[in-house]
Amino acid sequence: MTSSLIEVRGLVKTFGAFRALDGLDLVVGAGEVHGFLGPNGAGKSTTIRVLLGLLRKDAGEVRILGGDPWRDAATLHRRLAYVPGDVSLWPNLSGGEIVDLLIRMRGADPATSRREELIERFSLDPTKRGRAYSKGNRQKVALVAALATDPDLLILDEPTSGLDPLMEQVFNECVAEQTARGATVLLSSHILSEVDRLADRVTIIREGRVVESGRLSDLRHLSRSRIVATLSGAAPDLTGTPGVHDLAVDGSRVSCTVDPDGLPAVLSVLTAAGVTALTSTPPSLEELFLDAYRDRAGAGR
């Protein structure tokens, strides 16, 4: 499959007795924005660091940009840009120096890059020393360096942590521009709204394993809607109706989650009981996220 820029199969990484990655799969196709979701400690950063050749895998297959990240790290890195989640800068170098250094180290020329434009858009002061930047500004330095050139692949590990909403907006625009010219983006995050807005596909991981992966539209389809209804008459008994879960009855108020297949049946029962108010919420990514965890945790028991 030549259209995949990242192909990970059965990746295992252990730190002593701790199994950080336990048979993880991740496929990122060319030109897509792939959301990489998971709670803290799920193994997102570990996966990324294996992809960058910083960590050595214990088992499994890892291909990135068609090469082996451990063996060909330096060559492959000419075609990608990386923004770590927690950016640490050289205390006595200025932001501008660091941006130019990182661009040059990737084999590009800062003069022909978009550095000036991005410094402007992110309203970054490039003359400050590394030690004087706040967390958000350190993040901006790394983002400007990564977005200034035209890499084939962008690996962004929680890139907006520390950015204010205005700067998040700028970031979203920049990612959109990158994908418009054909770049592939791996976006790790636990800020779900960000992924919701940008990602075509997501992979949700927990404890070093994939719990859910696919197109966002497909995942939504698979998941349940939350129905809250206020009724004029007595609450009907929905227990046993196929596809109904988490049923709660509070006087004339009924709430439940419903599988897509069960929706028509549930709605007709509620209509018959005399609905005065009805809300149906499509699953947000948060719920997808929680669903995926709950199922996994439940199956594990």
Partner 1 sequence: MSTSTSGWPLLLRLGLRQDRVLAPVAVAVLVLMSVASAAATPGLYADQADRVRAAEAINASPAIVALYGPVLDVASEGELAMTKMTVLYAVFVAVLFVVVVRRHTRVEEETGRTELLGGTALGRDAPLVATAVEAVLLALALGLLTALGNTVSGLDPAGSVAFGALWAGTALVAAGIGAVTAQLSASARTCAAYAAGVVGLLFVLRAVGDTGPGWVSWLSPLGWNTQVRAYGDVRWWLLPCYAVAAIVLLGVAFRLRSRRDLGSGLVPTRPGPRTGSPRLADAFSLAVKVHSTTLVLWSVAAGALGIVFGMIAPGIGDLLDSEVAQSIIDELGGALVAAILSIVAVVLTYFAVTVVSHAGRDEQDGRAELVLATATSRGRWFAASATLALVGTAGLLAVTGAGLWIGYAAADGPGIGNLLLAALAWAPAAWVVGALAVLSLAAGLRWSVLVWAWPAAFLTLGLVGDLLELPGWLTGLSPYSHVPSLPSDAWSWGSAGGLSAVAAVLLTVAWWRFRSRDIG
Q: Which residues bind partner 1 (CB under 8 A)?
A: 49, 52-56, 73-75, 77-78, 80-82, 84, 86-102, 104-107, 110, 126-129, 131-132, 142, 155
Cβ 30 to partner 1 shortest distance, Å: 20
Cβ 208 to partner 1 shortest distance, Å: 16
Q: How far is 8 from 19, CA to CA, in rounded Å?
A: 17
CB 146 within 8 A of CB 103: no
Identity of the residue, 42 or 229, whose beta carbon is nearer to partner 1 in the bound complex: 42
Cβ 257 to partner 1 shortest distance, Å: 41
Identity of the residue, 13 or 206, whose beta carbon is nearer to partner 1 in the bound complex: 13
DSSP state letter for 138? H
Identity of the residue, 20 or 292, whose beta carbon is nearer to partner 1 in the bound complex: 20
Cβ 272 to partner 1 shortest distance, Å: 58
Q: How far is 222 from 292, CA to CA, in rounded Å?
A: 11
Identity of the residue, 73 or 235, whose beta carbon is nearer to partner 1 in the bound complex: 73
Cβ 176 to partner 1 shortest distance, Å: 23
Identity of the residue, 22 or 196, whose beta carbon is nearer to partner 1 in the bound complex: 22
Q: How far is 71 from 128, CA to CA, in rounded Å?
A: 37
DSSP state letter for 132? G
Q: Hey, what are 191's tokens?
A: 């800020």
Q: How far is 242 from 221, CA to CA, in rounded Å?
A: 17
R_g of the chain computed on alpha carbons: 23
Identity of the residue, 41 or 264, whose beta carbon is nearer to partner 1 in the bound complex: 41
DSSP letter for each residue of 58-100: SEEEEEETTB-TTTSHHHHGGGEEEE-SS----TTSBHHHHHH
Residue with tokens 């199994």: 19
- Compute the residue count for the chain: 301
Cβ 1 to partner 1 shortest distance, Å: 25
